Amino acid sequence: MTDALSALRVVDFGQYLAGPLAALLLADQGASTTRVERPDGPAWSTAANAMLHRGRRTVRLDLKDPGQQRAALALLDQADVVIENFRPGVMDRLGLGPESACARNPRLVYCSIPGFGRTDPRAGWPGWEGTVLAAAGGYAGATELVEREWMPSAGPAFTPLLLASVFAGTQAAAGIMAALVARERDGLGQVVEVPLFDSFFEAVGVRALRYERNPPAGAMFGAGFYRCRDGGYVSLVTVWYRHLEWFLDAAGRRAWITEGTASFDTLRSDPGKRAELQRRLVDLFATRPAVEWERLGRAAGTPIAALRTSTRWLAEEQARASGSVVDIADPEAGRLTVPGAAVRIRDAGPGAAEPGRAGPDDASALGGLRVLDLTRVLAAPSATRVLAELGADVVKADVPAGRSQSGLPEPLFHEAANRGKRLVPLDLADADGPGQLAARLRWADLLVTNFTGPALQRLGLDEQAVRTVAPGLNYVYLNTFGTEGPWKDLRGYAEIANTTTGLTARTIGAGPPSGVAPTVDLPRTPFTDYAAGLLGAFAALLAEYRRRRTGRAASAEVALVTAAAYAQLPYIVGPTGAPNPNDVWTEPGWSAFQHVYRASDDWLFVGTGADGSGRLLAELGLAAGTSDNAELSKAIASRLATMTAAEVTDLVRAAGGSAHRIESIGQLFAPGGAAERRGIRLEQESAEFGRVVQPGPTMRLSRTPMVAGALPPPWR
């Protein structure tokens, strides 16, 4: 724990993952947290509760009992923050809803995390994880190259990851912090709503990006997922040409470059040569074991990682040295290995004299906050984009376009990652570059960066150098493996973190054919980048809140491997040193009653609880009592295959559960689609691209709403 949120009082009514995760992120930063449980204990029986409920006291209350409702109200009256993740209206019926609670306690920040939002027509549905992910595009778009009996190329791409809950819980924590920062200005709280359905569109991100004309085009320099001699796999990420060049030199294949097959100009212009390079790499990687290729590539400076299970990652020296995982002792579950704190923050001395310059009429949470963005690619730029949506003045500084040999237009994902920012060129190799940097640092309240440690020192951006120029700055650093341990200086991206921590193994099983694109983690979206970006925004908000209360600056750190570990909750939690039975997933669901099925006309996810499962079997004419989950799934599938998706949905809802068609990203973001109906579809005009469509902000703050920034101008 840290002291960033000392004296903050949090009451957590959350169940399952999203609510407790939001509360955990606050408790790990020193918040005094009271967890309110049902009289019979947590609704979710999982070893992960030892982690999710750490750092808090627990009271058990029957919220349907009037006397115990009064006890809960007394907690709300004294709280700074309330977190709940019931369906909309449940807390209102208990007399504990947001309007009444905030009327009694005007300073209260009240956070609701339902499955579907208060104004969503599906608000009354059970917000099962699978139902939400099916509705939000989380199971859409299986790749043609990754086929299973349960995941045909034309069908859904099921993932066991609880990504809607992880994103909702993380965004809830960030939204709460934004509301607390705003409260420091005027003393007033507000209501924050982060539905699981809405929140997942932050994970969809660039997968929903659509251009009316002239979409940016690029080429990958041999990046892929390769099978090695021992049957293991490595992920090779070579977006920048120099990374491929270094690897080929180390592998003794410089001739591929000199003969023209793998030269920069050839690979950029000739799809045939790119395919030839891919074929040669498939053959090359088959000559050595995966760990040997990992050592060779890392020594050369190339981003590369051998495929690991989470059990293997938890045993790595780097996991513990970096604080990405820690051991805890739980009185019931025993000794467990769990993810460590998502954000590491420490005091950095006296802060800036004027922490925030917003005017009295500023309607944003971060009005007046000045942010210098010195970041690349996606995770860290996404963190500063969230800060811009919350009202911060973000200046994005980068080298002029074309100065480096990238396979994709730079800055990468420009229209999405740099929305709402002011852009300035900054080339530290120029004679006046260091002077321009110093001026920008003195202007800023917060610096966000994500270069490797050696690159930071070379550029004069390491914390020690920055603080000689701007000692009162808040400094937020996103990285791959953490700032301690033997891998701390390695280059890496989200694909590297996923491959290293077991996330990839959990989602692709035995592995795809050698040579496929490295982003094979299902669903096919760079969600680890976005998860780390949200944690980066959370870290920045923590630092700013702390500075406004104490006048002191902070340094904060977020690692991609930690974000990837949190994305694997609850599976990555387990007895210390024991193998994890969920390291590789082989079913399209969690049980026969939480499962992907095919109706006669479409795929859909079916979810029922313990009470509804018997009713569902009775409606289908199936006998209850079988303990063979696979046999039961097969029997249910045979019945549902004769019904339409609409009929299945009605049947499951009548049994007290919920079912939803598996929606595609295209359907969701089409004009009039679900994203537009929820106010999340952002359509903006660009002189270069025409209409550009992408997801907009998803956190709903009642008093200081997020605002989507303008499209950035072309980077020249």
pLDDT tens-digit readout, 292-304: 999 999 999 999 9
- Strands of 588-644 (E only): list them: 589-591, 594-598, 603-607
Q: Are residues 69 and 20 in the same domain?
A: yes
User: Are the CB atoms for 380 and 413 separated by under 8 Å?
Assistant: no
Does residue 474 form part of some domain? yes
Q: Could you give the angle at which helices 163-186 and 527-550 cross, rounded to 10 degrees?
A: 20
pLDDT in tens, 133-151: 999 999 886 433 333 333 3
pLDDT for 152 equals 33
pLDDT for 151 equals 32
* Contact residues for 268 (Cβ-Cβ < 8 A; gap 6+): 219, 407
pLDDT for 584 equals 74
Q: Are residues 409 and 505 in the same domain?
A: yes
Q: Are residues 413 and 325 in the same domain?
A: yes
Rounded percentage of the chain residues whose pLDDT exceeds 70: 93
Please state, in angstroms and rounded to a whole number, the distance separating the CA atoms of residues 175 and 537: 10
- Determine the average pLDDT of the residues in 529-538: 97
| Strand-pair partners of 43 | none
Q: Are residues 402 and 444 in the same domain?
A: yes
pLDDT for 645 equals 94
Q: Count of domains in the chain?
A: 4
Category of 62 on φ-ψ map: left (φ > 0), alpha (ψ -120 to 50) or beta: beta
Question: What pTM, to 2 d.p., does this model score?
Answer: 0.94
Q: Are residues 198 and 245 in the same domain?
A: no
The CATH number of the domain holding residue 284 is 3.40.50.10540
Does residue 17 form part of some domain? yes
Does residue 714 form part of some domain? no
Checking if the pLDDT of 439 tops 60, the result is yes
CA 6 to the chain's CA centroid: 26
- Determine the average pLDDT of the residues in 72-94: 95
Checking if the pLDDT of 614 tops 50, the result is yes
Q: Are residues 259 and 184 in the same domain?
A: no
pLDDT for 148 equals 32
Q: Are residues 580 and 653 in the same domain?
A: no
Q: How confident is the model at residue 361 (pLDDT cuts 50, 70, 90)?
A: low
Q: Are residues 598 and 582 in the same domain?
A: no
Q: Are residues 192 and 275 in the same domain?
A: no
Please state, in angstroms and rounded to a whole number, the distance separating the CA atoms of residues 238 and 512: 19
* Contact residues for 70 (Cβ-Cβ < 8 A; gap 6+): none
Count the neighbouring beta carbons within 10 Å of the beta carbon of residue 102.
Answer: 21
Does residue 712 form part of some domain? no
Please state, in angstroms and rounded to a whole number, the distance separating the CA atoms of residues 328 and 325: 10
Q: Which domain holds residue 70?
A: 9-203
Checking if the pLDDT of 518 tops 70, the result is no
Domain boundary among 144, 170, 203: 203
Does residue 248 form part of some domain? yes
Bigger pLDDT: 56 vs 454: 454
Rounded percentage of the chain residues whose pLDDT exceeds 90: 70
- Determine the average pLDDT of the residues in 185-210: 94
Mean predicted lDDT score pLDDT of the chain: 90
pLDDT for 154 equals 42
Checking if the pLDDT of 506 tops 90, the result is no
Q: Are residues 159 and 245 in the same domain?
A: no
User: Using CA of residue 521, residue 525, residue 529, residue 534, what is the dihedral sign?
Assistant: negative
Does residue 538 form part of some domain? yes
User: Are the CB atoms for 185 and 549 separated by under 8 Å?
Assistant: no
User: Are the CB atoms for 647 and 663 separated by under 8 Å?
Assistant: no
pLDDT for 280 equals 95
Does residue 99 form part of some domain? yes
Least confident among 128-142, 362-376, 522-536:
522-536
User: Are the CB atoms for 505 and 307 separated by under 8 Å?
Assistant: yes
In whole angstroms, how far apart are CA 453 and each of 108, 321, 559, 572? 40, 16, 13, 28
